[in-house]
Structure 1
Amino acid sequence: MSPLLIIIFTLFPISSLSQTIQQYDDCTTKLYSCGETIRWIRYPFWGHDRPSYCGLPEFHLTCRDDDGLTTIRIIGITFRVLSINQNFSMITIARDNLQEEPDPCLLESVDSMIVNRFDDTVFSYAPSRILFLGIYIECVVDMRSAPIPDRNKLDCLGDGTKIISFFREELVYFSQDSCKRNITAPVLKKAFQEFKQNETMSLGEVLKQGFPIAYKVDDGGICSRCESSGGTCWSNFTSSVPSCLCPDGMPRLVCRGSSGANWKVKVVIGVAVALPSLLLIFMIYCIMKSSSSNCIATFKHKTMDDKRVEAFIMQYGSVGMKRYSYVDLKKITNSFQVKLGQGSFGIVFKGKLSDGRLVAVKILHSFKGSGQEFINEVASISRTSHVNIVALLGFCFEYQKRALVYEFMPNGSLDKFLIHHVPLEISEHIGIKRLYEVALGIARGLDYLHRGCNTRILHLDIKPHNILLDEDFCPKIADFGLAKLYSRKESMVSLLEARGTIGYIAPEVFNRNFGRISHKSDVYSYGTLILEMVERGINIEVVGSGLTNELNFPYWIYTRLKKDEILLDGVTTIEENGYVRKMTIVGLWCIQADPGQRPSINEVIEMLEGSIEELEVPPKPFFSSPLQSPNHHVLTHHEE
């Protein structure tokens, strides 16, 4: 076939595919966002700016312009959407008419219909997290034979004696002659337990917190296979079964390796137009900078790296993050005017999006490594959604310019609060109790990475620099450049090289004689981190008592712990002493050289939240990494 005919047959399908190519772009970039809590929602949901073909009919979300809240219609009833967790296919909803004035008396018998019909839809209850209350309106009840606690009574036009309204946990049946209305209402079990313990809390407040439901999409695994191959799930709205749409506008079961017409045309035209100019510029650069043979070898290496990253972007193109150009980043950061910090992989600048949100833009070192840190970061964090994990909003990959756009953390990283002689105004905000709360938040974030994600994630670089603090000092784990993803079926992880930061690396990471790499490796780093927090919290320079350098700190504090001397001369109250003792015991358990002796991170949470009397002192640590100053080196497979 002649070259002319090849071009004609290649170009011909473009016009017919242009609409579906645009629809692919819409479904991967136009994610549903409304207000402050419902953000970046993808398939099967649609609504607002997200077109209907990007979701399924039952998952239509409505964004109210007046208050920025989201609603959804299920079995003919309008619910307010309080949260959506797409990792667990869970949505929390509440009756919309109970939000402004949460009065149980406003409930109608339709709530009983919810209970009877709800599981017939694509939505179903989460039985372990809810309970059903019986609410009985305007009943004639003999109080002597059926005594009802005063707190269970409701003020629904009753006179408090012969005609009353009330609720109870055990569902019973009252005839219409006995009660005007019988209502069965689902509520969040945790909220109702709080209600029983808090005398000032009303039943209306319980109802306002809504209840969780699970949703299911009958896709037979289509969507997971589609998205992992670079496609996006969509619907033509004539069926409730989703299908896979590929970047070239063609529907397929999987997209990886597909080479649609759009891709062909771009390659043919791009190579024909750009190649001569690029080669000329490249050869001039080679002559000026180095020998041609070395330069050509470098060119081949970087070209393979770029192809690797581009292939990754195609694969993860539907995770919902925006791709920015370098020009966009210059505008967002006002030409990189405000520098927030610098690490081993890049420089972080402060920026502002067009909608007014502040962001942190991390510009990665262009020629550092093979791009694996970029791939790790996007692949890992795009799978997460947790209050203690920093949110990745977008990225830039443009030739050798690579960048990541994060939510902005006003209080910066934890390391600046762990330096002695910090300014008084900073010290007042990060006392012993606050440090304990930060330690607990970091543990919850790690527990989510280890157990909460569909794909388990080892962070492998837990340290103060990678813990960011928002305006309320809520900690968020950041910097997933060294992270390792592995299946939930795997208990151990294989690494070809050590990765992490000196002072925080678990011994088994750099010496397999200590054991296999697993989630316990993150636990070790976490233990080192909270011992460093303890060191900052008790003010070693005041306590003294034989501590000569940071390397001795775990042994020094272990000795004081065994002597029950911890640590009243460095803290001011019994409560603070309890926090320090808990963190110390947990930290020492976490840095045990044998991974088998370390607790899992969910056990760490139980220890931190439990009673101090139940904690056992661990064995004396015989191997410990030194606590580090802010300037320490990172060992990774990137530095070759």
Structure 2
Amino acid sequence: MSFDNKSGLCGGILGSCDDESLFDRSFWYSFIIGVVFAAASFMYYCAPWTEFQKRRSNVIYPLRKKQNHQKYTRKVAELLPLALQEKRSKELSRMLERLIPRMGFTELCKATDYFSQDNILGLGTTGIMYKAKVPNNTFLAVKRLYDADKYKRDFVLETMIPGRHSHRNIASLLGFCIEKNERILVYNYMSNGRLSDWLLHSDEGHQTLILGWPERIHIALGLARALSWLHKKCKIVHLNLGSECVLLDNNFEPKISNFGKAKFINQMLEDHVRMRLVLIEKDVYDFGIILFELITGRRLCPWTDSCDRVDGSLMNYISNKLFTDSMDFSDVVDKSITGKGFDHKILHLLEVACDCVKPSIEQRPKMVDIYKTISAMWEGYRPWFDSERLKLSMVCPDQMICGNEIECIC
């Protein structure tokens, strides 16, 4: 501007300049148009995308939250089918205390001499059973589970079922203990131990404990009574029945224990009738194996299982007899009970055992009918059994069947 309209300068004369701007008007027109276009583009693209992202997050987050909740619910359902969550041991303990007394860990340690090996009564699949002596000079049986985390469901079932259902042929649960990772169950002490202790194993050459025939039929009767009651009244199947699960008191009254694998058949849907039948008949089959063990006096191995510590060859022999429709089992019957006037009764019980292990589950009898049959067999032995041998004190009458229902709950 200082050189405006000055002569003598090189080049042509500049045109007049005004003071409005250093830029041409076209620049501003272009600039304004660009700004307007950019703003319009932002409103058209960016604002809707921001809103979309906002709405998407509002949809995805609850969806993910719902999926995580469903996974958690499935895990809980798999862990405890009884709908009991062991979030904290205190919660579980308070729940169980409504059914069974809680016992102190310190007192149980003292009673078992701190779980000494000298007090071991037996080894099971889920725990070790110890003999415990309490201050009043009486004995208890204390079961200490191996792994609290691994056997959570077993512990709850073994606590809940005996705690809620009391019967003369179900092992009575006196108390429980939850202490950190320890899970302990306390039962009445059974002076005659387990039924398997009275059976000859494959690696034993001579049987030191021998059961008479009246004791054997009495044990069969008690087991049939308990299973009938569980199936009809409680809608429970044991699914782990064996001679190691049968405890004998001083009167040889059998007590079923080990309910860690049990199931509640009333919780199944109506369209699962076939599955319920399979589960019930599994108990019938296992009961039939116990009958064979009582008759042969030996610990048997079902041909569907793999047990190399028991006499599997004998079970295979019996199965061959069954499949060939041969009822001549005289060569496998325990010689200590034959020739004493019971042979016809032994044959009758053999027929019941064969019916229980038939391959087709539709051909197997119901436990209620089995109980009726064995109860009729027992009638001739009860006077002798009561007066001369055991002097049983019957809490409930033996005849517990009214039609198809079990009336007496002991």
Could you tell me how far 1:354 is from its partner in structure 2?
3.5
Find the counterpart in structure 1 of residue 115 from structure 2. 336
Note closer, same or farther for the CA distance 1:491–1:459 as it changes in structure 2 (3 Å cut): farther
Give a deviation string over 1:360-384, Cα, whole Å, max 9, x none. Answer: 0000013451511000111111122
**Does the 8 A contact of 2:86 with 2:92 survive in 1?**
no
Distance 1:447 1:422, change over 3 A: farther
Q: Is the 8 A contact 2:200 2:206 kept in 1?
A: no
Pair 1:356 & 2:105 matched: no
1:351–1:358: 8 Å Cα contact kept in structure 2?
yes
Q: Give 3-state SS (helix, strand or coil) of 1:393's partner.
A: strand
Counterpart for residue 87 of structure 2: 307
1:61 aligned residue:
none
Aligned twin of 1:534: 295
1:480 maps onto 2:241 in alignment: no
CA contact (8 A) 1:346 1:365 kept: yes
1:493 deviates by: 7.0
Shift of 1:480: 1.0
Residue 584 of structure 1 aligns with which residue? 350
> In 2 relative to 1, CA 519–392 (structure 1 residues): closer, same or farther, beyond 3 Å?
same
Residue identity in the other structure for 1:457? I
Distance 1:565 1:551 in 2: 12
Structure with the larger helix share = 2
8 Å contact from structure 1 (residues 345, 368) kept in 2? no
**1:426 corresponds to 2:198:** no
The corresponding residue for 2:374 is: 608
Greater relative contact order (Cα 8 A, min sep 6): structure 1 or 2? 2
Q: 2:97 aligns with which of 292, 317, 321?
A: 317
Which residue of structure 2 lines up, in the alignment, with residue 386 of structure 1?
Answer: 167
Do the aligned residues in 1 keep the contact of 2:148 with 2:183 (CA within 8 Å)?
no
Match of 1:553 among 317, 323, 327: 317
Percent of matched pairs sharing the same residue: 28
Q: Kindly report which structure 2 residues correspond to 1:394-543, keeping only aligned pairs within 5 A, or say none.
A: 394-419=175-200, 426-427=209-210, 430-452=211-233, 455-487=234-266, 516-536=277-297
CA apart distance, 1:478: 0.8
Cα deviation, residue 563, structure 1? 5.5
Give yes or no for contact 1:418–1:532 (8 Å, CA) kept in 2.
yes
Match of 1:575 in 2: 341
Residue pairs, 1:132-211, within 5 angstroms: none
Q: Is the 8 A contact 2:103 2:177 kept in 1?
A: yes
Measure, in 1, the Cα distance between the counterparts of 2:190 and 2:282: 27
Cα distance 1:335–1:606, how it changes in 2: closer, same or farther (>3 A)?
A: same
C-alpha spacing 1:350/1:548, structure 2 compared with 1 (3 Å): closer
Q: Distance in 1 between matches of 2:266 and 2:312?
A: 44
- Contact 1:360/1:407, CA 8 A, preserved across alignment: yes
Larger Rg: 2
Conserved in 1, the CA contact under 8 Å of 2:239 and 2:261? yes
In the TM superposition, what is the alpha-carbon distance from 1:311 to its structure 2 partner? 3.9
> Which residue is 2:303 aligned to?
none
Distance 1:340 1:588 in 2: 33
Q: Residues of 1 paired with 2:179 and 2:292: CA distance? A: 41
Q: Offset at 1:424?
A: 6.0
- Hey, what's the Cα distance between the residues in 2 that align with 1:434 and 1:560? 31
Letter in 2 for 1:357: T
Give 1:426's aligned amino acid.
L
Alignment of 1:614-629 (within 5 A): none
Distance of 2:165 and 2:277 partners within structure 1: 25
1:523-561 Cα deviation digits (max 9, x unpaired) = 11111121122222799xxxxxxx992342323544897
Deviation at 1:357, TM superposition (A): 2.9
SS in 2 for 1:461: coil
Cα deviations by residue, 1:87-145 (Å, 9 ceiling, x for unpaired): xxxxxxxxxxxxxxxxxxxxxxxxxxxxxxxxxxxxxxxxxxxxxxxxxxxxxxxxxxx
Q: Deviations over 1:465-512 (max 9, x none)?
A: 100111121111011111113439978979xxxxxxxxxxxxx9xxx7
SS at match of 2:113: coil
CA gap of 1:559–1:536, structure 2 versus 1, over 3 A, is farther
> Any idea what SS the aligned residue of 2:342 has?
helix
Partner of 1:365: 146
Is the 8 Å Cα contact of residues 237 and 283 (structure 2) preserved in structure 1? yes
Shift in CA distance, 516/437, structure 1 to aligned 2, threshold 3 Å? closer
TM-aligned CA deviation for residue 347 of structure 1: 0.9
The answer to whether the 8 A contact 1:440-1:608 is kept is yes
Output aligned runs, 1:25-424, within 5 Å.
306-307=86-87, 310-319=90-99, 321-337=100-116, 338-367=119-148, 369-419=150-200
Please list the CA deviations of residues 343-399 of structure 1 after superposition, one character each: whole Å capped at 9, or x if unmatched: 111111111233433110000013451511000111111122222111000001111
Give the direction of change, closer, same or farther, for the CA distance of 1:528–1:537 in structure 2 (3 Å limit): closer
**AA paired with 2:139?**
L
SS in 2 for 1:406: strand
For residues 399 and 526 of structure 1, the distance between their equivalents in structure 2, rounded to whole angstroms, comes to 37
Structure having the larger proportion of residues in strand:
1
* TM-score where L is the length of structure 2: 0.60
Structure 1 residues 602 and 489: CA distance shift in structure 2, 3 A? farther
Q: How far apart in 2 are the matches of 1:493 and 1:589?
A: 24
1:331 aligned partner, one-letter code: K
| Superimposed CA distance per residue, residues 171-227 of structure 1 (whole angstroms, 9 cap, x where no aligned partner) | xxxxxxxxxxxxxxxxxxxxxxxxxxxxxxxxxxxxxxxxxxxxxxxxxxxxxxxxx
1:458 & 1:382 partners in 2: Cα distance? Answer: 16
Q: Is the 2:158–2:260 contact (alpha carbons within 8 Å) kept by the matching residues of 1? A: yes
Alpha-carbon distance, 1:417 to partner: 1.2
Aligned CA distance change for structure 1 residues 393 and 493 (closer, same or farther; 3 Å): farther
Could you tell me which residue of structure 2 aligns to residue 595 of structure 1? 361
The 8 Å contact of residues 245 and 258 in structure 2, kept in 1 or not, is answered as yes
Amino acid at match of 2:133: K
Once residues 167 and 224 of structure 2 are traced to their aligned partners in structure 1, the CA distance between those partners, rounded to angstroms, is 12
Are the equivalent residues in 1 in contact too, given 2:126–2:151 (CA < 8 A)?
no
Equivalent positions of 1:6-21 (< 5 A) are: none
**CA distance in structure 2 between the partners assigned to 1:447 and 1:411 by the alignment:** 24
- Stretches of structure 2 that go unaligned for 5 or more consecutive residues are 1-78, 301-310, 379-410
